[in-house]
Structure 1
Amino acid sequence: MRRYITMLQSNTNMTRLLMMVLFGCLAVFETGCKKLVEIDAPVTSVNEENVYKSDKEATAVLTGLYRGIGASGSIFTGKTGISLLSGLSADELSLFSGSTDNTLLAYYKNKLNGLDVNQQGAQAWEALYTRIYTCNAAIKGISESNTITERTKQQLLGEAKFLRAFFYFYLVNLFGDIPMVLTTDYKVNSLLSRSSKNEIYDQIIVDLGEAESTLSDDFWDANLQPYTGVKERVRPTKWAAAALLARVYLFKGDYNNAESKATSVINNTSYFSLQSLKNVFLKNSQEAIWQVQPTRLYYNTEDAIAFVIPSTGFSTNSPVYLPLQLLNEFEQGDERVKIGNWVSKTNLAGTDYYYPSKYKVNTQNTAVVLPSNLTEYLMVLRLAEQYLIRAEARAKLNNIQGAVSDINVVRKRARSNPSVALPNPLPDLSTSLSQAEVVKAVMHERQVELFTEFGHRWLDLKRSNSIDEVMGKVTLLKGTNWESYQQLYPLPFSDLQRNQNLTQNPGY
């Protein structure tokens, strides 16, 4: 939040200038590697009225947020992303022994320090609140604009509220009770105390409900026009809002609404369907509810760079591998763990190291200068999660047959390989399982289906109250010890110094 507070305390016009510089340009993947197409930015003054004076400029603000999610150094992707950091915190990833990165070591050893001047553990706090500021400014500016067309205004307001909810979802799950910032007034924001987790969730639900009612049913392009060719799935639709709502309701224990929202997405078969294992993470996959385009010139996703271990071995860019405790969770006949599907391996000095290969293209390619040259997009929301959300909700509602049916849909895809006759394919689950057994089966399926994706495992361990049991064993393998307070990350010390109304998470 340090950068967020600094931004709020700065001159208002300078804030708008920074926002336009960061978010007001359509960058390289829509124009090629040598030319940037700039939005017609104000020349003599930069203020809220100018930023939101036209559809094009208002749209560029939201486009900038999507670009930031997929960019190098983002909290959402690559070696600085939630997938990697929370994977290290949990039982999904091991850090190679030669790593000297103190931040990664702190996440891996679960030894984040609330007094650390380098803000270990607070990376997500600062990044997410900065983006929430942009959402708040966009909601205010778009709402008050008299020059943006009504159709564009409704779509952009939906996008801004969807993104604000998305960012708050991760803040509240990583840090617990947090300040709820809904304005751009630094005098108010800089003195906020924590709101309860339930209050944050209530606001998330309000934002997503409004987003669902205003976002388009269909995917729109960067100019908020219907696609005439292949539809890019990089701007959220009402289905993205419904999918995230399903997740939020599940986390809150509102199982009826979780089932209802997941069903609305699953039933939209004209847009979404499960794909073969090798096609799930390709750009514009039919399984994708929402993806983000990579933005680094000459590369596909940052996750591929971070997770795929090159033949040259580990490096600061590729510092992690899959531990045995995760690999051992895959059942016999599960094609997800088959080398070349979602797991691959490399041999370094006589030792095999396994790594996530959901994204496979990790090398530089000078031909990659336009979206048409990319083959993989960062997957944010996908259909398989909706089946598992509905399965868990149904199990909690004691609809055992429906829950097992949904789990088996995902398991069927995990065993599908029509070119190979497997002697022991992954079996369907039986409807004779008890409620507790089905809930356990869902959590297992989430572990092997959603590994290294946006922190699912870390959040699942916490909400299922199994984190102390699991991490008590895992940390011994890491050469350290586990204490329950470590399931929440520490707030940045600098923010605690600035705001006397903020309190640190217990244990730090």
Structure 2
Amino acid sequence: MYSMLNPINKATFLFLLSAHIMIIITQTSCQKLIEVDAPTTSITADNVYTNNLTASAVLTGIYSRISMNSITGNDLSAIGLITGLAGDELTLYAGAKDVRLRAYYQNNLATITSRIDFWANIYNEIYIANLSIERLNNSFSLTPGVRQQLLGEAKFIRAFCNFYLVNLYGDIPLVTTSNYAVNSTLPRAPISQVWMQIISDLKDAKILLSNDYVDGTLLKKSIERIRPNKWAATALLARSYLYTNDWVNAEIESTEIINNTTLYNLDSLNNTFLMNSREAIWQLQPVNFASNTEDAKVYILPRSGPSSSRPVYLSPQLLNSFEANDRRKTLWIDSVLITGMPYHFVFKYKSGALNAPLTEYNTIFRLGEQYLIRAEARAQQNKIAGSRADLNIIRIRAWLDESKLNQKSALLSSIYHERQVELFTEWGHRWLDMKRIHIVDTVMRNVTPLKGGSWNLNWELFPIPSNDILTNGNLSQNTGY
């Protein structure tokens, strides 16, 4: 992407370039009313992919948008907070004025189906990825290594976006072209077909992407872990196999990463979320002026406590799930005391102040998850000793006693619990886990009334925006909305 040795100049340049290119690409997706040849010196959708720098900026734009958007918004960056509110991880401040956040929190999205914007924003990134794949496949003026890396990144991003769409919405239109006329009338594809596309894209990306992290030229190695590489694709592939109950391949893919000790090792709890941590597999570099991660800006409570601008804190359900002496509770959670009442908040990212030194990057994939993926995949195959060993690696880092469990069912329950306290508020893990292991109904029937709402199992899927239902006659709404 770019070096942080001169963060404002280089970051601003690439961000503005990518934003300019995105405007052009978005405009060309609409019908052209007037055809005028562009000056040969201008950037157009046709010549973006003839130059290494401009072609790279298209994918950079996706990473920049995810990084810059507030986690209270409607884009990929908000998935951790929104699903944390919808599930059992976060509490919404009683005085919060955001109607949308309240609807997610009380599992009452039927009242705001016209304002569910994850759908549109994620499909926008898929459109850009599709256009990039099409243009890169027909571009022969780029440096071959650059073209290959960008193709890999585009397929990886498409898989990443589809992963969240299929998990949040169920059956979805499977968009693999930039042709608006085709895309605007697509029906919903079965979940199984979407998973096949995700896995196919990740297999391709794993071959195309560099083994190493690369810099802004895409040709030189970098210490920055901010552009997807082969191992980012492998991480999402391992997760995808886990979600589709392909235990053998989930174990194979996670093992590849765990065995790559040249690049990856578990870091200390204090260092896990630092920029270029040895545990990080893919991170997003901050692009907003004078700040670190958006997570820290939203989650860390000031001494005055929660407010409409800092409206969330940790739920009693999450706080009570930690075992005694779990260092994650003391190092990844902090609190403020307001009139004798403690408000606990997420403290994985610790630098939320403006103008603080750059120390943290938003971590999307990390090695800790891969150990838990392999532990679960091994347990499902009755590889009890290996599963327990992986689980204990995570427990020992948290200063907990080693598990001695020997039965598959008990071991799986322990792994699911460990995922809850290890991955809390990170990219929707808890919400998606509750659905895939079929405990969401049991948990939410107890939790939703405590949040002032009522629960219906249909609401484990989010509603499709009503505007899209109206404009696409082949698109149906999820049950219950």
Question: If the length of structure 1 is used for normalisation, what is the TM-score?
Answer: 0.87
Query: d(CA) in 2 for partners of 1:498 and 1:264?
Result: 45
Show the 5 A alignment for 1:133-282: 133-227=127-221, 231-282=223-274
* Residue type at the aligned position of 2:154: A
Summarize the Cα distance change of 1:92–1:74 in structure 2 as closer, same or farther, 3 Å threshold.
closer
* Structure 1: 5+ residue stretches without partners: 1-22, 416-425
- Residue 149 of structure 1 deviates from its aligned partner by 1.5
Aligned-pair CA distance for 1:56: 1.1
CA distance in 2, matches of 1:187, 1:304: 41
Q: Which residue of 2 aligns with 1:491?
A: 464
Name the CA distance, whole Å, in 2 between partners of 1:63 and 1:28: 18
For residue 402 of structure 1, what is the aligned residue in structure 2? Answer: 386
Counting aligned pairs with the same residue, the percent is 45
Matched, 1:103 2:100: yes
Check conservation: 1:301, 1:378, Cα contact below 8 A. yes
Q: Deviations over 1:340-371 (max 9, x none)?
A: x1000011232110011000111111xx6xxx
Given the alignment, which residue of 395, 398, 404 partners 1:414? 398
- What corresponds to 1:443 in structure 2? 416
Question: Would you say 1:130 and 2:114 are equivalent positions?
Answer: no
Please say if residues 282 and 375 of structure 1, whose CA atoms lie closer than 8 Å, have aligned partners that are also in contact.
yes
Q: Which residue of 2 aligns with 1:469?
A: 442
SS class of match (1:52): helix
In 2, are the aligned partners of 1:180 and 1:195 still within 8 Å (CA)?
yes
Measured in 2, the distance between the counterparts of 1:216 and 1:325 equals 41
Q: Report if the CA contact (8 A) 2:75-2:121 is conserved.
A: no
Q: Distance in 1 between matches of 2:11 and 2:341?
A: 42
> Secondary structure, in 3 states, of the residue corresponding to 1:49?
coil
> In structure 2, how many angstroms separate the alpha carbons of the residues matched to 1:80 and 1:133?
18
Q: CA contact under 8 A between 2:3 and 2:10: conserved in structure 1?
A: no
Distance 2:94 2:220 in 1: 50
Q: Tell me the amino acid that sits aligned with residue 240 of structure 2.
A: V
Alignment map for 1:297-336 (pairs within 5 Å): 297-336=289-328
Q: How many residues align?
A: 461
Judged with a 3 Å threshold, the aligned counterparts in structure 2 of structure 1 residues 398 and 100 are, in CA distance, closer, same or farther, namely: same
From the superposition, tell whether residues 159 and 502 of structure 1 become closer, same or farther in structure 2 (CA, over 3 Å): same
Choose which of 56, 61, 64 in structure 2 pairs with 1:59: 56
Instruction: Map 1:359-398; keep pairs closer than 5 Å.
Output: 359-365=349-355, 373-398=357-382
Q: Is the 8 A contact 2:66 2:77 kept in 1?
A: no
Q: Deviations over 1:323-349 (max 9, x none)?
A: 1111111001210001xx100001123
Cα gap change, 1:242 to 1:75, in 2 (>3 Å): farther
From 442, 453, 458, the counterpart of 2:431: 458
Residues 28, 35 of structure 1: 8 Å contact kept: no
- Whole-angstrom CA distance in 2 between matches of 1:240 and 1:35: 25
Structure 2: segments with no counterpart, 5+ residues: 22-37
Quote the RMSD (CA, aligned, Å).
2.3
- Preserved CA contact (<8 Å) 1:95 1:105: yes
CA contact (8 A) 1:28 1:297 kept: no
Deviation at 1:317, TM superposition (A): 3.1
Contact 1:71–1:77 (8 Å) recurs in 2: no
Q: After superposition, what is the alpha-carbon deviation per residue over 1:182-220, rounded to whole angstroms, capped at 9, x for unaligned?
A: 101111100000001110000000100000001000000
